[in-house]
Amino acid sequence: MNKSLVIILLVAVVIALFATRQYFHQRRENADNDAAPRRDVRVEVTAKRDWLSPNRRSRQREQIPVEDRKYEAYFKPLNGGAMIKLNLEQRAYDELAKGQQGILSVKGSRFIAFAVQDATQKQ
More confident residue, 34 or 105: 105
Let me know whether 55 and 106 are in one domain. Answer: yes
Let me know whether 95 and 42 are in one domain. Answer: yes
Let me know whether 73 and 20 are in one domain. Answer: no
Let me know whether 63 and 123 are in one domain. Answer: yes
* pTM reported for the whole predicted model: 0.71
Let me know whether 26 and 10 are in one domain. Answer: yes
For the chain, the domain total comes to 2
pLDDT tens sequence across 21-66: 999 999 999 898 888 899 999 999 999 998 887 665 655 555 556 6
Let me know whether 29 and 50 are in one domain. Answer: no
pLDDT tens sequence across 61-79: 555 566 678 999 999 999 9
Let me know whether 3 and 21 are in one domain. Answer: yes
Let me know whether 102 and 49 are in one domain. Answer: yes
Let me know whether 63 and 20 are in one domain. Answer: no
Let me know whether 43 and 101 are in one domain. Answer: yes
In terms of residue numbers, what domain contains 22? 1-35
Q: What is the CATH number of the domain that holds 80?
A: 2.40.50.660
Q: Residues 6 or more apart from 68 whose CB is under 8 A from it?
A: 52, 53, 55
Q: 18-37 burial, b if ≥16 CB within 10 A, otherwise e?
A: eeeeeeeeeeeeeeeeeeee
More confident residue, 109 or 19: 19
